[in-house]
Structure 1
Amino acid sequence: MTLSFDITDDQTRSSLGARVAMPAKESLIGLTRLELGEALVRAGVVPERQVKMRVQQLWHWLYVRGVADFAHMFNISKDLRSALDQHFTIARPEIVEEQISSDGTRKWLFRFPPRGAGRPVEIETVYIPEEGRGTLCISSQVGCTLTCSFCHTGTQKLVRNLTAEEILTQLMTARDRLGDFPDRDTPDGAIVPAEGRKISNIVMMGMGEPLYNFEEVKKALLIASDGDGLSLSKRRITLSTSGVVPEIFRTGEEIGVMLAISLHATNDDLRDLLVPINKKYPLKDLVAACRTYPGLSNARRITFEYVMLKDVNDSLDDAKALVKLLKGIPAKINLIPFNPWPGTNYQCSDWETIEKFADYINNAGYASPIRTPRGRDILAACGQLKSESERLKKHERLALEAMMIAGHGEA
């Protein structure tokens, strides 16, 4: 059974922490410590001699306690809280809709206020609960420039990059909804231990190409992995790219998170069709960049994502070519059953074909898990995300259900 909640009235929005940030106020979320201190001094809120202390206090309240209202910062004077509220915001995005899949997967549609002369924008974020961990799939752009032919998100044109604030507040709002922050209404609320978190992992695999928004993604992920704040291990953060080769080394050197490559083909002719960025950065350049990824080892393997498309890339010869292509790279190969969406011309490979493909790769010495499709009934699975501005019409949803019933949904 799929549950869907349209968040419309002000009272409900307030109870969900879904207040919209006023564009006239600068958000403190997503600023580095240096930027945060500079903002406080620039606004005349804090004298320079107090900056270090105030930055430390605010950092704790924002990223450890997860407060979304200056009034809840109990160890800060009332006058300072009032001044902060006058000049800045720490609000969450508006939650337009929350959907809960029959398998427990959650998808949120977030709306962010206008930037400059722009309009409000909407993006989707997905939470996948699993035994022993919970993974949040975060978006980096509104829409996408890459037009990968098998991906639903790729059919929506790029609107703009997300800011570090907008990337981080996806994580922070998800924690709000899941009860993953400590009790913020009492000064001595217990801190949630790392092993007790519902969100233990994050993946930059939502809408957009993260490496086309490198600087903002970098800022957000360094704050997410800061040990005095959100405190996620860099080994539990994975950034997925379709192959923006010049930024791959920088990702390892400057961010230090795990890397995933959206591969899907073993030759340039096919990959040019499936992942058009391959025309700019062909396979030989992409694989070379992977071989020199900083920190690469058996303990820090690169994940190669490979969507299984019937009669396109799923033959035994394709499996052999994949093993040959990646020879010598510490790697895990995630096989992803194709997730259908209305209007696509692709079909998912038969389950028997996927298993034979996986067996060959496993026998060649590579871990090759078959990713269990999650959240298909709410279009939350890999390759299915699309913002509300591109919302499916009712007959398209019915068409998707018919496709799944016909047998593609369980492949």
Structure 2
Amino acid sequence: MEKQDIRKLNAVQLKDWFTKNGEQGFRAKQVHEWLWKKSALSFEQMTNLSLPTRELLNTNFEIRPLTVDQQQRSNDGTIKSSFKLYDGNLVEGVLIPSLHHDDIERDVAPRMTACVSSQVGCSLTCKFCATGYMDRKRNLDAAEIYDQVVAIDRQAKENYDVPLSNIVYMGMGEPLLNYKNVLESVDRITSADGLGMSPKRITVSTAGIAKMIRQLGDDAVKFNLALSLHAANDLKRDQIMPINESNTLEVLGDALSYFYKKTGTRITFEYILFYNFNDTLQDAQELWKFTKRVPAKINIIEYNPIAEANFKNTDPQTLDKFAGFLENKGVTVNVRRSRGKDIDAACGQLAGKK
């Protein structure tokens, strides 16, 4: 008989199980703490439970831990991990350390960001993203997302002696097409009986699923939302992000306004500048007009080439003019340089490759 994954049970279900099996209900709280606060991966680790209780758990349940299958380190200190799931599928996660010279000079601890995946593959087919050329095999469950965070936090401490400071759901997959598990994983990461991380240090990035953006507003989420925009007119966005055909910019704009009205959280727009495609001052004008709908900031992202596509990064002069136009309009603009490009760990390069 196949054992049940104990991390699929919530605290109430766990308490009911203990009671039905002649155990005291408070044992559920102890086990819950071992699973989500102490990140235990075996019942043997639960040393405040009696041996018979641990044996009872071991007979009926299993913990399905994610394991590091392969690890690569970039010249810039970025660490990419290929994680093996219990069923043999692979996903990738990245530790991105911000080793700024100014931080070192001021003796400030570097910021450690975990980039985690939410699906095995992806059902969207964004033309510039390596994951978009994969099939979507399945959603990750909340525990599998949580395990990536725990593993990357361990890497940050082992390699830099600094814990994780931020988490971005920008790895493989579209988070809002795995809505329930993504929100449950955030709850495990942020709750007092979990990892206790502030939701303001978490950003969920979407290619633009308007219905689910509205749902985030209704659920009054506390984390940050980023939209992968990359073009601010429908004709161009349709070419590179087919999801735009059913989630047009007008529909997305309305959804983002709704989200902001419900949460009060500023939106981050992510914009890759592709050479001779979306990098003109006209494109910057369209971007500015679109982002005026909600309080926002814009992250201009360096393009990271992939074998499947022929896009090129724009030149530095064009980037400077593009960013300067937006800044002159009063927009907050950050230019994000690639990290981990030499090990295919940069934005848009994750594809479960060994």
Give the TM-score, by structure 2 length. 0.90
How many angstroms does 1:87 deviate by? 2.1
The match for 2:67 among 86, 94, 100 is 94
Residue of structure 2 equivalent to 1:361: 326
Partner of 1:78: 51
CA distance in 2, matches of 1:239, 1:40: 35
Q: Which amino acid aligns with 1:142?
A: V
1:79-127 deviations in Å (ceiling 9; x for gaps): 212222222223422321011111111111111123xxxxx21111111
Rounded to whole Å, the distance in 2 between the matches of 1:30 and 1:237 is 23
2:111 & 2:244 partners in 1: Cα distance?
Answer: 33
- 1:39 and 1:141, CA in 2 relative to 1: closer, same or farther beyond 3 A? farther
Give the superposition deviation at 1:174: 2.3
* Correspondences of 1:270-309 after superposition (within 5 Å): 270-294=236-260, 295-297=262-264, 300-309=265-274
Aligned pairs for 1:12-411 (under 5 A) are: 24-29=2-7, 31-40=9-18, 44=21, 47=23, 50-51=24-25, 53-114=26-87, 120-131=88-99, 132-179=110-157, 198-254=163-219, 255-294=221-260, 295-297=262-264, 300-388=265-353, 391=354
1:5 maps to which residue? none
In structure 2, C-alpha distance between the alignment counterparts of 1:36 and 1:377, rounded to whole Å: 45
How big is the alpha-carbon RMSD for the aligned residues of Structure 1 and Structure 2?
Answer: 2.0
User: How far apart are the structure 2 equivalents of 1:274 and 1:291?
Assistant: 24
Query: For the structure 1 residues 109 and 370, does the alpha-carbon distance in structure 2 shift closer, same or farther, using more than 3 Å as the test?
Result: same
Contact 1:142 1:160 in 2 (8 A): yes
- Work out the CA distance in 1 between the residues paired with 2:14 and 2:166: 26
Equivalent residue letter for 2:218: E
Gaps of 5+ in 1: 1-22, 115-119, 181-195, 392-411
Q: CA deviation at 1:241?
A: 0.7
Aligned length: 340
Determine the C-alpha separation between the residues in 2 that align with 1:177 and 1:39. 35
CA contact (8 A) 1:296 1:330 kept: no
Segments of 5+ residues of structure 2 without an aligned counterpart are 100-109
Equivalent residues of 1:69, 1:91 under 8 A apart: no
- Contact between 2:217 and 2:258, CA under 8 Å: does it hold in 1? no
Counterpart code for 2:225? L
Identity over the aligned pairs, expressed in percent? 39
SS of 1:265's partner is coil
Structure 1's 62 and 291: CA in aligned 2 closer, same or farther, altered over 3 A? same
Q: State how far apart, in whole Å, the 1-side matches of 2:5 and 2:246 are.
A: 37
Q: Secondary structure at the match of 2:333?
A: coil
TM-score, normalization by structure 1: 0.78
Could you say if the C-alpha distance between residues 359 and 37 of structure 1 is closer, same or farther in structure 2, counting changes exceeding 3 Å?
Answer: farther
C-alpha separation between the residues in 2 aligned to 1:373 and 1:104? 12
One-letter amino acid of the counterpart of residue 235, structure 2: D
Distance in 1 (CA, whole Å) between partners of 2:84 and 2:60 is 22
- Matches of 1:304 and 1:40 in 2, distance apart? 47
Say whether the 8 Å CA contact 2:114–2:153 is kept in structure 1: no
Supply the distance in 2 between the matched residues of 1:121 and 1:329 (Cα, whole angstroms). 39
- Matched residues in 1 for 2:59 and 2:171: separation? 34
| Cα deviation, residue 41, structure 1 | 5.0
Cα pair 2:156 2:162 within 8 Å, conserved: no
Q: Is the 8 A contact 1:30 1:220 kept in 2?
A: no
State the shift of 1:38 in Å: 4.2
Q: Find the residue that maps to 2:346 and give its secondary structure.
A: coil
Aligned partner letter, 1:143: G
The answer to whether the Cα contact below 8 Å between 1:92 and 1:173 also exists between their aligned partners in 2 is: no
Taking a change above 3 Å as real, the CA distance of residues 208 and 64 of structure 1, as seen in their structure-2 partners, is same
* Contact 1:31 1:165 survives alignment (8 Å): no
Range with bigger deviation, 234-243 or 248-257: 248-257
- Offset at 1:55? 2.5
Asked if structure 1 preserves the Cα contact closer than 8 Å seen for 2:205 and 2:228, the reply is yes
* Amino acid corresponding to residue 91 of structure 2 in structure 1: I
Letter in 2 for 1:104: G
The alpha carbon displacement at 1:59 in A equals 2.6
Superposed displacement of residue 347, structure 1: 0.2
CA displacement at 1:130 relative to structure 2: 1.6
Cα distance in 2, alignment partners of residues 223 and 313 from structure 1: 39
Structure 2 distance, partners of 1:205, 1:288, is 23
Deviates more, 1:362-371 or 1:303-312: 362-371
Once residues 60 and 369 of structure 1 are traced to their aligned partners in structure 2, the CA distance between those partners, rounded to angstroms, is 39
> Does the aligned pair in 1 maintain the 2:65–2:86 contact within 8 Å?
no
